[in-house]
Amino acid sequence: MRPRRVAVLSVHTSPLEQPGTGDAGGMNVYITHTAVEMARRGISVEVFTRATSSEQPPVAELAPGVLVRHIPAGPFEPLGKDELPAQLCAFTSGVLRAEAFHEPGYYDLVHSHYWLSGQVGWLARDRWGVPLVHTAHTLAKVKNAALAEGDCPEPRTRVIGEEQVVAEADCLVANTPVEARQLVSLYDADPQSVHTVEPGVDLRRFTPGSRSGARQRLGLPDDAVVLAFAGRIQPLKAPDVLLHAAAELLRKQPELRQRLVVLVVGGPSGSGLEQPQALKELAVHLGIEGQTRFLPPQHAEMLAEVYRAADVVAVPSYNESFGLVALEAQACGTPVVAAEVGGLPVAVAHGVSGLLVPTHSAADWAGALGSVALRPDRRAELADNAVQHAQRFSWARTTDALLATYGEAADSFRAAILPEVAV
């Protein structure tokens, strides 16, 4: 049965925030687009997130049929993820209080995003008597197994919290079959409760366009060789790999120095906040400061221009549950070179819409990037295929699958409580 009203929990980041800095990223995009798509189908969605400013209204409209509720929990300022567990009690109280103002049965289902939200969703589920669907987005055990050099491991608190949520949720939504297997093998999830729902891409906004026009708008030379990165600046996302690869490319082909542009779009996040200037300092150290341009996080329209301007977009992450940047770039007709990790082998069709690199070595990445950016015929073929590949993914398709999962969660929940009612 299709729900009438869904409570979406996103404790640590709001869909109203700009992706690409702080803790805002692909999860924000996911929540925004699936909520809007559900609203288009006549389902009311309310997103609960922590208030980070006293100037935020208690309730804001994200889109017709989609409300964002700012719940006071802790100081009115951004907090690190390590500080947020201490605020979960206050946040949960605010969520339950909001529901208490309505008649019983106001929400039909809870969908929590990330483990912090799952902790709140677990309690709301029991209090409201509705099913809980949970999407992890990232998993601590997976991240800790593939740490970037110098990055900090996820704490034991998070691991235990994730295990608890996995055990309590009625349905778990994984972005890819790989993540689904990880939930089962690493967290002992019931395979019957795990459903794979691939994220989508905004195919109306991310479309092919004029590369020359995009470069003109960004102030880039028309004959430049442009390697781009878009995302949060943190060790996990590995933008440093792109800089090392660019330096290696110039070492092998010094004649490129006048044409090469390395475009880095995003702001510091997570452990990257500890050294916010580290990437710029690395560019100086590698002798490519003259070739490297840094841009702050961009709204979708300008981000699409960045993708169109690039010869290739690099996604060198050490772990990526899916990789929305890779899909967005391909939808704009730009090939992607990505790390062969997590969900990226789903987001990028190796040898068809881009390339997957099994290591993070500068030599391997320089070779892969050069084989696309410096070979116009091959780049053109990959670009055409990239658009076709991205067309397989849409937020409408994602939402259809998500609603089917909601139906199964409701069935599982009813089946679980029937024995209790019979007793």
Supply the pLDDT for residue 364.
98
Binding-site residues for 1D-myo-inositol 3-phosphate: 12, 23-28, 81, 114, 138, 158
* Domains parsed from the chain with CATH numbers: 5-200+395-422 (3.40.50.2000), 211-391 (3.40.50.2000)
Say if residue 125 is exposed, middle or buried (CB neighbours under 10 Å; 0-12, 13-18, 19+).
buried
Tens digits of per-residue pLDDT, 372-394? 999 999 999 999 999 999 999 99
* CB 184, CB 379: distance < 8 Å: no
Tens digits of per-residue pLDDT, 213-244? 999 999 999 999 999 999 989 898 999 999 99
Interatomic CA distance for residues 216 and 218, integer angstroms? 5
Interatomic CA distance for residues 201 and 261, integer angstroms? 26
Supply the pLDDT for residue 267.
85
CA distances for 98 relative to 40, 94, 106, angstroms: 24, 6, 10
CA distances for 242 relative to 27, 227, 279, 281, 343, angstroms: 23, 8, 11, 14, 20
Interatomic CA distance for residues 370 and 207, integer angstroms? 24
Binding-site residues for Mg(2+): 307-308, 310, 334
Supply the pLDDT for residue 150.
72
Binding-site residues for UDP-N-acetyl-alpha-D-glucosamine: 18-19, 26, 232, 237, 298, 320, 328
Closest CA to 173 of 405, 410, 412: 405
Beta-bridge partner residues of 339 = 357
Residue with tokens 């780049």: 379
What pTM did the predictor assign? 0.90
Supply the pLDDT for residue 274.
47
Interatomic CA distance for residues 75 and 150, integer angstroms? 30
* CB 401, CB 395: distance < 8 Å: no
The CA-based angle 290-324-49, given to 5 degrees, is 105
Give Cα 67 to chain centroid, integer Å. Answer: 21
* CB 165, CB 362: distance < 8 Å: no
390: left (phi over 0), alpha (psi -120 to 50) or beta: alpha
Residue with tokens 């288009």: 40
What string of pLDDT tens digits covers the 423 residues of the chain? 789 999 999 998 888 887 666 666 789 999 999 999 999 999 999 999 999 999 999 999 999 999 999 999 999 888 888 899 999 999 999 999 999 989 889 999 999 999 999 999 999 999 999 999 999 999 999 989 887 777 789 999 999 999 999 999 999 999 999 999 999 999 999 999 999 999 999 999 999 999 999 999 999 999 999 999 999 898 989 999 999 999 999 999 999 999 999 999 998 865 445 456 889 999 999 999 999 999 999 999 999 999 999 999 999 999 888 889 999 999 999 999 999 998 999 999 999 999 999 999 999 999 999 999 999 999 999 999 999 999 999 999 999 999 999 999 998 888 776 555 444
Binding-site residues: 12, 18-19, 23-28, 81, 114, 138, 158, 232, 237, 298, 307-308, 310, 320, 328, 334
Q: What is the DSSP letter of 253?
A: -
Interatomic CA distance for residues 101 and 331, integer angstroms? 44
Residue with tokens 């996990």: 236
Supply the pLDDT for residue 257.
95
Residue with tokens 């702050």: 296
